[in-house]
Chain A
Amino acid sequence: MAGKILLVDDAAFMRMMLKKIISPTGHELVEAVDGSDGVTKYKESKPNLVFLDIVMPNVDGIECLKQIMALDSNAKVIMCSSIGQQTVVNDAIKIGARDFIIKPFDAAKVLEAVSKNM
């Protein structure tokens, strides 16, 4: 069943890479350009799954995650981390993120995360 996935990343390139990997699954994709946009788009589109970047201007991924979890304690959020952000990822998991993927994205891992959580 097709659902909705929210992609939150300030880099258009990253959103494009995720879109390329996920779009063949047929899920509807919604994009947000920073943490505050992420929270707004979460409220608007009520996605089934969120891919959330960590380092972003304005509201960062951790703060965005907190706000999303406050809105919906069942939110399914997967953090997108760069190499060497293990402590931040641990914090995110404690706050309620389901999983994380490491950049550069491995298509198989992204699709696994999608199929596990959708």
Chain B
Amino acid sequence: MSRIRVLVVDDSAFMRKIITDILAGSPEIEVIGKARSGQEAIEKVTELRPDVVTMDIEMPGLDGLQALGYIMSECPTPVIMLSGAESRQADVMITAFQYGAVDFILKPSGNISLDMAKIKDEIVKK
């Protein structure tokens, strides 16, 4: 079985590293690329055609929701949204699902197993 190719999108290098490490812990997952902004995410999705994208919501410039909208319209790919924001969360989640996000993960610490479980849900879906 070929591995699941994931693109990690986050403006923070620290978060990119954490997410990548979590994903790299699974033999079924391969992180094929990272992007630091919404703009870069759209370019890399088009270029690399990942199986799944993990997308931070709050980023400078083109944010995660807008990037999600563009990706779903131009190059539909399963996107899992990552959020650290407590405020506006419900609104943002609803908008993200309207745009076509497949799942949602809250960032605060201790979510390693949650993270993996959700990614695996995604695998089953595919």
Contacts and interface: CB of A to CB of B under 8 A. Distances in A.
Interface in B68-87: 69-70, 72-75
**Which of A13, A82, A83: most chain B Cβ within 10 A?**
A13
Contacts, number: 35
Contacts of B99: 13
B11 to A, nearest CB: 16
B124 to A, nearest CB: 27
A106 B66 CA distance: 12
Interface residues of A, number: 13
Contact of B66 (A11, A84, A104): A104
B121 interface: no
B31 interface: no
B38 interface: yes
Interface in A1-60: 9-11, 13-14, 16-17, 55
A103 interface: yes
Nearest to B41: A104
A9 B70 CA distance: 12
A103 B74 contact: yes
Nearest to A11: B73
Contacts of A16: 69
21 contacts: A10-B73, A11-B73, A11-B74, A13-B70, A13-B72, A13-B73, A14-B70, A17-B66, A17-B69, A55-B74, A82-B46, A83-B42, A83-B46, A84-B46, A103-B42, A103-B70, A103-B74, A104-B38, A104-B42, A104-B67, A104-B70
10 closest A-B pairs (Cβ-Cβ)? A11-B73, A13-B69, A82-B74, A104-B70, A13-B73, A14-B73, A104-B62, A83-B46, A104-B42, A103-B70
Interface of B: 38-39, 42-43, 46, 62, 66-67, 69-70, 72-75, 99
Interface of A: 9-11, 13-14, 16-17, 55, 82-84, 103-104
